[in-house]
Amino acid sequence: MTSALLKITVAGLALMAAGAATAAAPDARKAHEGMIVLDTHFDTPANLGRPEWNIMDRHVEATDGDQVDLPRMIDGGVDGGFFAIFTASGPRTSEGDRAARDFAIRRGVQIREMIAKHADTFSLAITADDAEAAVKQGKRFVFLSMENGYPFERDISLMSAFRSLGVTMMSPVHTKNNDLADSSTDKPEWNGLSPAGKAYVAEANRLGILIDLSHASDAVVRQTVALSKAPIILSHSGMRGVFDHPRNIPDAEAKLIAEKGGVIQINAFNAYMIATPKIPEREAALKELMAGFMSRANMSAQERRDLIARRKEIDARWPVPQATFDDLMKHILHAIKLVGIDHIGISGDFDGGGGIEGFRDITDFPKVTAALLKAGYKAEDIAGLWGGNALRVLRAAQVGAEPGTVPAIPFTN
Ligand SMILES: [Zn+2]
């Protein structure tokens, strides 16, 4: 009897300890609620075309894979973010470029329609002031961003068209080289920026577009920092000083970005955070499963749940090491110690492959606030990390723009 009771007590204590480690303390929660909290890379727009998907509904990460929606923005104390128009790399031909352009325009319109349909809840943001005004009105702000310059790689004038659609941040390249720049995960082709890539930097400066260099090669980072009149951002990246992966930013380049006033937003993408050995059978099974993944745009809720269940079966059969919340904090704390908390932010890379143990969706954001408070950082500095720093760098990019290129919100929503 006594030993059974003791066992229960020990189990209860262990549970309490686990709870304390994963939930934010009440004062941390209060501090978190008082901050403007944003994520600079939501891949959530990929869900917008799905027939049954609605950002107003609550979804469950474990079963349907989705990581961002309004109910969980409220739970996570998340005020807004940059909603990405992500274009997958494809053929660098006239046809490929046109298809990429059209895809990106449609995606941008879907985001605008999402905002317009829920205008009492969401508000389009072009400037940092817009974001702050939305928060004061009790709304969530939505910036539009582009991941991959493929849609405008051969026609830089399209940047202006995307700017008019509401896009405020653009990255030149994704996981494969394109006509603008080398990718961090491809073989050098231009040894940095191409001539068109240099024109992209100049045009971004002219239009007040914030340049995002996540996924770009180290040489692209060095050249762009030297060339750009405005500071730059890495919207979702890790630290190579913690884990040696080409997708992560080396310490030297991180310092260059910070010295120019820029910001590095730390992501939570498993394979970039810790060593995850490639298992050929697993890769083959995932490749087969993901072959139709771009059709996520049309998936029903049930099809999506089936996909997630099948992915979990692959994970169970060929498990790979999982990064934890502690690994995320290692990247964050290394970055803060290297360049200062004024140059660091957070992006989960949610709905785009991000998510690790203990940091599965946006409801886990308050845990970072709690961990940083516990590590001795001041609430005002943590507020910068959650939003102030990214808004500062956006302001800096827009202040140098040619007059008239950063208008007020072009339409009501
Ligand atoms: Zn990405």
Which residue in this structure is represented by tokens 């890539």? Answer: 197
> If pLDDT is split at 50, 70 and 90, which confidence band does 289 have?
confident
> If pLDDT is split at 50, 70 and 90, which confidence band does 274 have?
very high
| Nearest Cα to Cα of residue 211 among 336, 178, 219, 202 | 202
Strands (DSSP E) contained in 155-289 are: 167-170, 210-211, 233-237, 263-266
Quote the ligand 1 centre to 10 CA distance (angstroms): 43
- Statement: residue 19 has pLDDT above 50: no
The second-level CATH assignment, the architecture, of 27-276+323-399 is Alpha-Beta Barrel (3.20)
- Statement: residue 292 has pLDDT above 80: no
Q: Residue 118 corresponds to which tokens in the numbers above? A: 């829920």
| Nearest Cα to Cα of residue 390 among 24, 106, 141 | 141
Supply the pLDDT for residue 21.
Answer: 44
Share of the chain above pLDDT 70, in %: 91
Quote the ligand 1 centre to 379 CA distance (angstroms): 29
Quote the ligand 1 centre to 42 CA distance (angstroms): 9
What is the pLDDT averaged over residues 255-270? 97
For residue 202, the tally of other CB atoms under 10 A from its CB is 13
pLDDT digits (tens, 9 = 90+) for 82-140: 999 999 999 999 999 999 999 999 999 999 999 999 999 999 999 999 999 999 999 99
Pairwise CA distance, residues 254 & 263, whole Å: 9
Supply the pLDDT for residue 316.
Answer: 92
Quote the ligand 1 centre to 25 CA distance (angstroms): 31
DSSP letter string over 373-407?
Answer: HHTT--HHHHHIIIIIHHHHHHHHHHHTSPTTSS-
Helix or strand (DSSP H, E) at 354: none
Quote the ligand 1 centre to 411 CA distance (angstroms): 29
Task: Output the pTM of the full model.
Answer: 0.91
Q: Residue 333 corresponds to which tokens in the numbers above? A: 């704390």
**Strand, coil or helix: what is 276?**
coil
Quote the ligand 1 centre to 24 CA distance (angstroms): 28
Supply the pLDDT for residue 294.
Answer: 54
Quote the ligand 1 centre to 147 CA distance (angstroms): 7
pLDDT digits (tens, 9 = 90+) for 30-61: 999 999 999 999 999 999 988 889 999 999 99
- Statement: residue 228 has pLDDT above 50: yes
For residue 27, the tally of other CB atoms under 10 A from its CB is 11
pLDDT digits (tens, 9 = 90+) for 312-327: 999 999 999 999 999 9
Quote the ligand 1 centre to 174 CA distance (angstroms): 7
- Statement: residue 8 has pLDDT above 50: no
Pairwise CA distance, residues 36 & 126, whole Å: 16
Quote the ligand 1 centre to 272 CA distance (angstroms): 11
DSSP letter string over 74-122?
Answer: HHTT--EEEEEEE------SHHHHHHHHHHHHHHHHHHHHHHHHTTTTE
Quote the ligand 1 centre to 60 CA distance (angstroms): 22
Supply the pLDDT for residue 2.
Answer: 39
Supply the pLDDT for residue 300.
Answer: 84
Burial (0-12, 13-18, 19+ Cβ within 10 Å), 320: middle
| DSSP structure class, residue 387 | I
Quote the ligand 1 centre to 84 CA distance (angstroms): 9
Quote the ligand 1 centre to 221 CA distance (angstroms): 16
Supply the pLDDT for residue 304.
Answer: 85
List, in order, residues 6 or more apart from 353 with CB less than 8 Å away.
Answer: 43, 269
Quote the ligand 1 centre to 237 CA distance (angstroms): 8
Supply the pLDDT for residue 15.
Answer: 41
Quote the ligand 1 centre to 173 CA distance (angstroms): 10
When the pLDDT of each residue in the chain is averaged and rounded to a whole number, the result is: 91
Quote the ligand 1 centre to 159 CA distance (angstroms): 20
